[in-house]
Amino acid sequence: MVKLKNINKIFNINTINENHVLKNINLEVNKGDFITIIGSNGAGKSTLFNAISGNQPLTSGEIFLNSNNITFVKEHLRSKYIGRIFQNPLLGTAGKMTLEDNMIITRSKGFKKLKISLNNKIRNEFKEKLKILDMDLENRLKDNVGQFSGGQRQALTLLMMVLSNPELVLLDEHTAALDPRNAQKVLDLTAKFIDEYSLTAMMITHNMEHAIKYGNRLLMMDKGEIILDISGQEKSNLTVEELIQKFHDIRSENFINDETLLS
């Protein structure tokens, strides 16, 4: 499905501020995987997503989507197959435009034609789809999206993304900026959609419970490397304590390695 081969990303290369953010990452995402990704700040999680979505060019390495090499494909072309939701709920929708206009834009991907698609038939389709969210948005088609709450906007972004039939879904801490109640609602919707539409997804989270509860595979990143890759039975039996323990085991091992190197 998606294959990352020896991916490296170095910021400010050959300067005093050189920062090796992704270190020789190799990863194969299988069709139908729902991967949760945890890791401390600066571990390279978002940079990994930027690499996959094409937001930033790689320093070295290759990316394959369904065995097509997409390493040099531009972001807007990749986004026809890769859907991404950001932490900032404002990034997924246009706040100054009405809900129905937003949905027209996200209805199909790619260049838009010089024709008016919005009509009552399409409006009814939109209403049907919005009912899934159970947020009463189906009665607010003519309201500006800017009037909606962050949770509503993020749920809307999620819905519109799912309906575009992406091959891969990237969720970049998409509930972190929401209040707990809305965060849970959006997360439930996410799990529901991924299950119903059999999507392949990767989700960054700071919440270890969520990382364990959701998905079939868990990655832990630290200092630009994937230090843990657990899936299947092992993942479903995992507890937060075990996860922390594993983290400490690997971290202290690294620490010892560093010390031996330095001495």
Partner 1 sequence: MIEGILVEGLIYGILALGVFITFRILDFPDLTVDGSFPLGAAVMVKCLLTGIPLWISFIIVFICGGIAGSITAIIHNKLKVPSLLASILTMLMLYSINMRILKAPFVSLNKISTLLTKFSTLITPVTTDRAVSYLLIFILIVTVLIIILNNFFHTDLGLALGALGDNEQMIISQGMNPEHLKIIGLALSNGLVAIAGSFIAQYQKFSDINMGIGVVIIGLASVMIGELVVKSNKIIFLLSRVILGAIIYRGILFLSRPLLIYPTDHKLFTGILIIIILAVTALKKKGSSNG
Which positions lie near partner 1, rule CB under 8 A? Answer: 74-77, 79-80, 83-84, 86, 90-98, 101-102, 104-106, 109-118, 144, 161, 164
Q: Least distance (Å) from partner 1 to the CB of residue 111?
A: 6
Q: Least distance (Å) from partner 1 to the CB of residue 100?
A: 10
Contact 174, 136 (CB under 8 A): no
- Angle made by CA atoms 60, 66, 71, in degrees to the nearest 5: 20
Give the other-Cβ count within 10 Å of 52's Cβ: 22
Q: Least distance (Å) from partner 1 to the CB of residue 69?
A: 19
- Closer CB to partner 1, residue 122 or residue 228? 122
- Closer CB to partner 1, residue 18 or residue 125? 125
Q: Least distance (Å) from partner 1 to the CB of residue 86?
A: 7
- Closer CB to partner 1, residue 105 or residue 240? 105
Q: Least distance (Å) from partner 1 to the CB of residue 101?
A: 5
- Closer CB to partner 1, residue 86 or residue 247? 86
